[in-house]
A and B are shown apart, each in its own frame.
Chain A
Amino acid sequence: MTQPNDGTVSLDKVVKRFGTNTVLDGVSLDITKGEVVAIIGPSGSGKSTLLRCINGLEKIDGGSILVNGEEIGRRPTPNGRHPYAELKPQELARQRAHIGMVFQSFNLFPSMTVLENVTLAPRTVLGLSAEKARASALEHLGAVAMADFADRYPRTLSGGQQQRVAIARALAMEPSVMLFDEPTSALDPELVGEVIRVLKDLATRGFTMIVVTHEMGFARDVCDRVIFMEGGEIVESGAARGVFTSPINVRTQQFLQRVLER
Chain B
Amino acid sequence: MPSSTKERPVSTLFSHGSTKSFVPRQQYVFYVLVTIVAILLILSLVTNANYQWATVAQYLLAPSILQGLLVTLWITLVCMVIAVVLGLILAFMGLAQSAYVRGAAEVYIVFFRGTPLLVQLIFWYNISALYPNFGIGIPFGPQFLDIDLNQVITPIGAAIMGLALNEAAYMAEIFRGGLNGLPKGQIEAADALGLSGWTKVRRVVLPQLLPVVVPPTWNQMIGMLKNTSLISVIGASELLYSAQAIYARTYQTIPLLIVVSLWYLAISIILTIVQRRIEKAVKR
Contacts and interface: CB of A to CB of B under 8 A. Distances in A.
Interface of A: 55, 57, 89-90, 93-101, 103, 105, 107-112, 120-121, 124-125, 166, 169-170, 173
B194 A121 contact: yes
Interface in B152-195: 183, 185-186, 188-195
Contacts of B17: none
B197 interface: yes
B193 A96 contact: yes
Nearest to B210: A111
Contacts of B185: 103, 105, 107
A169 B196 contact: no
29 contacts: A55-B192, A57-B192, A90-B197, A93-B191, A93-B195, A94-B194, A95-B194, A96-B192, A97-B193, A99-B192, A101-B192, A103-B185, A103-B188, A103-B189, A103-B192, A107-B185, A108-B189, A109-B207, A111-B207, A111-B208, A112-B203, A120-B193, A120-B195, A120-B203, A124-B195, A124-B199, A124-B203, A169-B193, A173-B194
A67 to B, nearest CB: 13
Chain A binding site: helix, strand, loop or mixed by DSSP? mixed
Given A57-B188, A107-B185, A107-B188, A93 B196 contact: yes
Contacts of B188: 57, 103, 107
A57 B204 CA distance: 17
B194 A97 contact: yes
A96 B203 CA distance: 18
Query: Taking each of B186, B193, B203, which has the highest tally of chain A beta carbons within 10 Å of its own beta carbon?
Result: B193
Interface of B: 183, 185-186, 188-197, 199, 203-204, 207-208, 284
A205 B208 CA distance: 36
Contacts, number: 66
Q: Which 4 A-B pairs have the closest CB atoms?
A: A97-B194, A107-B189, A93-B196, A101-B192
A121 B208 CA distance: 18
Contact of A96 (B186, B194, B208): B194
Given A57-B191, A109-B190, 19 more contacts: A57-B192, A89-B196, A89-B197, A96-B194, A97-B193, A99-B192, A101-B189, A103-B188, A103-B192, A107-B188, A107-B189, A109-B186, A110-B207, A111-B207, A121-B193, A121-B195, A124-B199, A169-B193, A170-B193
Nearest to A93: B196
A225 to B, nearest CB: 23
A125 B192 contact: no
Given A109-B207, A111-B207, A111-B284, A125 B189 contact: no
B191 A109 contact: no
B194 A107 contact: no
Contacts of A94: 194
Nearest to A121: B193
Contact of A90 (B183, B196, B203, B204): B196
A89 B204 CA distance: 17
A112 B190 CA distance: 13
Contacts of A121: 193-195
Contacts of A166: 189
Contacts of A125: 193-195, 199
A121 B284 CA distance: 22
A233 B204 CA distance: 35
A88 B253 CA distance: 65
Given A57-B188, A103-B189, A109 B204 contact: yes
A124 B194 CA distance: 9
Query: Taking each of A93, A98, A166, A169, which has the highest tally of chain B beta carbons within 10 Å of its own beta carbon?
Result: A93
A105 B197 CA distance: 24
Contacts of A105: 185
A120 B188 CA distance: 15
A167 to B, nearest CB: 12
